[in-house]
Amino acid sequence: MNEEKARKAREYFLQGYNCSQSVLAAWCEELGLDMNTALRISACFGGGMGRLREVCGACSGAFMVIGLKHGYTEGKDFKTKSENYAMVQKFAARFKEENGFDSIICREMLGLNGASDPTPEKRTEQYYKKRPCPDMIALASGLLDEFI
């Protein structure tokens, strides 16, 4: 577990960035990606993809890091594509193993039934108390060392 990357991602989230942005931003320097580009690429993936509560944004951010590090660029490169997908599946399994929810689905992790209003909640002390998000973001970012 990379404690420094875990801490950095958690700090970004506590500054108001979404879960996906927080993970990608923590790794952008090592990936040669400027911060603004990282934040824009990952902006729509917070809240389980625009608060649809689908795939956890922390996982989506981690998948972006894996893709930037090990992704394929040739459409017919089935070997690298397969290796990339295998890495994503291994990361998801590891994340589920460690997260206490056995899920990578935002709504399942938050105990919700479906999509949320598109307007994000205000980041208050109460907001942080009722959500596992800072811990999930730190976990996703910290686990990436095992995969890149």
Predicted confidence (pLDDT) per residue in 45-104, tens digit: 999 999 999 999 999 999 999 999 999 999 999 999 999 999 999 999 999 999 999 999
Region 107-119 average pLDDT: 92
pLDDT for res 34: 96
| pTM higher than the cut 0.85 | yes
Collapsing DSSP states into helix, strand and coil, what is residue 81?
Answer: helix
Q: For residue 120, what is the DSSP state?
A: P
**Is residue 126 predicted with pLDDT exceeding 90?**
no
Mean of all residue pLDDT scores within the chain: 95
In this structure, how many other beta carbons lie within 10 angstroms of the beta carbon of residue 20?
A: 32
The helix/strand/coil state of 1 is coil
Of all residues in the chain, what percent carry a pLDDT higher than 70?
100
pLDDT at position 129? 84
Tell me, what's the pLDDT at 19? 97
How distant, in Å, are the alpha carbons of 28, 53, 67, 83 from that of 8? 11, 24, 20, 28
What confidence category does residue 121 fall into, taking pLDDT thresholds of 50, 70 and 90?
confident
